[in-house]
Every structure is written in structure tokens, then in C-alpha cells.
Chain A
Amino acid sequence: MKNLSFAINDLTAAPIRSPMEALILAGLLFTGSAAGVLGALFGLGGGFIFVPVLMLVFGLAPTEAVAVSLIGIIAGSVGASTVFVDRGLSNIRLGLLLELTTAAGAIMGAIVAGYLEEWVLMCIFSAIVLYSALRMIMNPEKVIPPSEGSDGRFAFEYRDEAGNENVKYQVENVKGGMALCTVAGMISSMTGVGGGAVKVPLMNIYMHVPIKAASPTSSYMIGITAFSGAITYFLSGQVLLEYAAGIAIGAFAGSLLGTVLASRLHTRHLRKYFSVLLVVVAILVLLQAGGVL
């Protein structure tokens, strides 16, 4: 299918006719769905799934895989956000604030990327993610309710359907969180991985945002982060449109399923599963750093 696909500046459309190509399309839809479910459940973009699968299974070049991956990340993020934002689970205001420094960090990362070894950054990223996983496994969630004298701009509330309660929370360490998001944005843009895997633990452990709000907020932010990269690849003609469509349709469907599952999971289970997923992400990134993937 790859040689029949086309970039935007190749206007001779390529047909998907053979059974093998239909099978590839089914594989793309499945890959997108799987990443979409995980993305909506845990606030991850899914790049750690998309890129290796597109390269190893579908035979795409690294640049092509990253370009298609970014489209899938946006589809999953926007799909989940249509539900999470509407229900008030995604904290739009906090997301905008943290996205400010994440985006600034991403720009800085793109500028200095040429001066640093990528494998070193990937190892640092894995260490941070593993540390976050351990913290989430060992420490219970600490939610601080708003009190008199606390900054009202950072007091929020959401409806926990699984617990059947309204949860009020005060976001702590806002300046520190913004600074750390700059670092997260830098590492993310230099390595191509890491948005949600860093931001969710950061919000949950350091800023005391309940994971039921942190994951949807991260889902919302990830699409904004992916926008700059995606538009660049798109306008330079590096997006394989058929692959992108297959992945995006799957990611959207998966993200809707993920929002249903997320509303049914209890906080304790969500944190536990998220910690396990972080360990898997760290191992995958280490394998990439070592050139195995």
C-alpha cells in the first residue's frame, strides 16, 4: 500500500484495491483504535504506539511514521476532548496555562535539538517516567480542597461519575508546574515522545490535580501540542494521506470508547493501570534509545 499511497503534492490518487491493501487499512484502523482507547483513558498521545508500529509493521520511514502519528494523536485528542471538555473533566483553563510553557519549551527544544544526543534525552525521559510510576504506585492520591485564602483562580470542580460525587480541588505549585512543563515540552520536541507521560504525573503528583481531571486535561493539551508539528509535516507534503486517514478514523473511534471506560473506572484503579503503562512506555523508549526499535 505504501508505494500506492501519496503525499499531498502527488495528485495521482492511489487506489486501495487488493485484499492485502484492505488488510493494511484494517490494521491501521485497529492500531488507531488501540492508541485512541489508551489516549483517552490515560491522557497519553499514543505516539509511543503509533511510531514503532507504523515503522516495524507497516514499513514507513521514521519521518513518515511521525507525520502520520501526529495526525492520529490529534484525532484521538480531539475525539476524547469532545466528551471530556463537555463534561467538565478536562480543565480547559489549567490546560491553556500549562500549554503556554509546554509550547514555549517545544520551540526551545526544536532550536537546541541539534546540539544534544537524542539517546541521552530518551534515557533521561525514561528515568523521569519510571520515577513517576513508582511515586504513583507507592503514594495515594492527595487532593487538596479549596479553602479560604487560597487562590480562587486555581480552585476547580468536576463530576466523578464512578464515585457519584462532585470533587473540588485546588491546584498547587502552579509556577513550579509551569516551569516543569517547559522542560517536558523541550524533551518532548527533542525526542518526539512524552507529552502525556510526563504531564499527567506532573499534574497529579506535584500539582495535586485528581487523576480523573489530570488525564482528560492532558488529552485536551496533547492535540494543541501536536498541531505545530502536524501542520509543518502536512504543508511540506510528508503526510501519507491514506495512512493518516486510517489511523485518524481508528483513533477517533477508540477515543470515544476510552471516554466511556474512563467514566467507569475508579481513581485507585486508574492510577494503578496508568503506573503500569508508564513502565511500559519507559521500556519502549529505552529500546528506541538503544536502537532496538
Chain B
Amino acid sequence: MSLNSSTALALRACIAIGLSAMIVGLALSLLGMGTDVLYAGTLVLIASPFIGVVVTFLSLAKSKDWFWAAIAAILIVITAVGACIAMM
């Protein structure tokens, strides 16, 4: 599977799961329930871009495209560090 196809597939899977949970959670909120479902859906949606970069890195590493795989790896580290700093 190509770099673009694998990344697009990962993004598609994440947003399908995340948004489905959000829709179900929103519908359940009509009945006074659904907070945990909304919570899970939102978390999956937020994580989607990051998961996309991880899949991109794996795809680049698999095809031994080391220059761009290194760029993706550094970005993963910077993004994770940025998130940690923001949470402090």
C-alpha cells in the first residue's frame, strides 16, 4: 500500500470511529446519557492527525525512505513534547 493510501486509510478509520461515537453520544444525550461515548469519540477524533503521522512514519520506514521517515519521527517527538509542555 502506498504512503498516501495508508495515511488516508488511517485518517478515514479514525474519523469514522470518532464521529460515529460522537453522533451516538449526541443522540444518547437526548435521553440524558452518553457522556462517556462522547468523551471517547472526541478523544479518538483529536488523536486522528497524530495517528496519521505515526502511520505515515511506519509506511515510510517500511519502504526504506529513510530521509522522510526521519522527518516523520522527529515530528512525532516534537508533537508529543509540545503536547506535554502544553499540559504542564
Contact = CB atoms under 8 A, between A and B. Distances in A.
Partners in one complex: yes
Interface of A: 6, 8, 10-17, 25, 71, 74-75, 77-79, 81-83, 85-88, 90, 92-93, 96-97, 99-100, 103-104, 106-107, 110-111, 153, 223-224, 226-232, 234-236, 239, 241-242, 244-246, 248-249, 252
Given A81-B11, A234-B46, A252-B15, A110 B86 contact: yes
Given A85-B7, A96-B75, A241-B39, A107 B82 contact: yes
Interface in B1-58: 3-5, 7-8, 11-12, 14-15, 18-19, 22-23, 25-26, 28-36, 38-39, 41-43, 45-50, 52-53, 56
Nearest to B33: A13
Nearest to B53: A224
A15 B49 contact: no
A134 B18 CA distance: 40
Contacts of A224: 49-50, 52-53, 75, 79
B4 A13 contact: no
Interface residues of B, number: 52
A88 B45 contact: no
Contacts of B8: 81-83, 85-86
Interface of B is mostly: helix
Contacts of A241: 25, 35, 38-39, 42
Interface in B55-86: 56, 67-68, 71-72, 74-75, 78-79, 81-83, 85-86
Contacts of A227: 46-47, 49-50, 79, 83
A82 B79 contact: no
Contacts of A90: 4
Closest 7 CB pairs of A and B: A223-B49, A86-B8, A232-B86, A245-B22, A241-B38, A228-B82, A13-B35
B52 to A, nearest CB: 7
6 contacts: A86-B8, A100-B74, A224-B49, A224-B52, A232-B86, A241-B38
B71 A100 contact: yes
A82 B11 contact: yes
A87 B7 CA distance: 11
A52 B48 CA distance: 25
Contact of B85 (A8, A107, A246): A107
A6 to B, nearest CB: 6
A17 B19 contact: no
B77 to A, nearest CB: 10
A252 B19 contact: yes
A54 B14 CA distance: 26
A79 B38 CA distance: 19
A13 B87 contact: no
Contacts of A10: 35
A81 B52 contact: yes
B52 A86 contact: no
Contacts of B35: 6, 8, 10-13, 241
